């Protein structure tokens, strides 16, 4: 059975083209922001759209695929796991962030340029 203890699946659109880096060891890393929109109707009958932004990271071959086929506006399903990391920003303040580490990407469509 698939490991479902730490599993995330999101469908959204890229807010910008992926940022891709090649690390010193030759491994590729791709980062991109995914906008997930939920639309609902209030009790007054008004439609409201709520957008949540998620940071996604892809490694290795998947990063290479992301670099080749993903671009701003692309609708994609991301299957992965949550990962919390800590870092110190330029001002010396310790920060934490939650990212989705992608295991699979499924492209639905590309937005016309």
Comparing CA positions, the residue from 38, 62, 41, 60 lying closest to residue 51 is: 38
Residue 112 confidence (pLDDT): 54
10-residue mean pLDDT profile of the chain (113 residues): values are 81 97 95 96 93 97 96 96 93 95 88 53
Residue 3 confidence (pLDDT): 64
* Domains parsed from the chain with CATH numbers: 8-109 (2.40.50.140)
Residue 5 confidence (pLDDT): 87
The whole model's pTM is what?
0.83
């Amino acid at each position: 059975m698939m490991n479902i203890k730490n599993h995330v699946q999101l469908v959204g659109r890229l807010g910008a083209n992926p940022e891709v880096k090649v690390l010193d060891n030759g491994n590729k890393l791709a980062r991109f922001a995914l906008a997930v929109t939920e639309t609902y109707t209030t009790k007054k009958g008004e439609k409201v759209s709520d957008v949540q932004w998620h940071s996604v990271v892809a490694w290795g071959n998947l990063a290479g695929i992301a670099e080749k086929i993903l671009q701003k506006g692309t609708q994609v399903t991301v299957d992965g796991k949550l990962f919390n990391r800590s870092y110190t920003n330029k001002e010396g303040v310790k920060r934490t962030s939650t990212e989705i580490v992608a295991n699979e990407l499924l492209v639905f469509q590309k937005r016309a340029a």
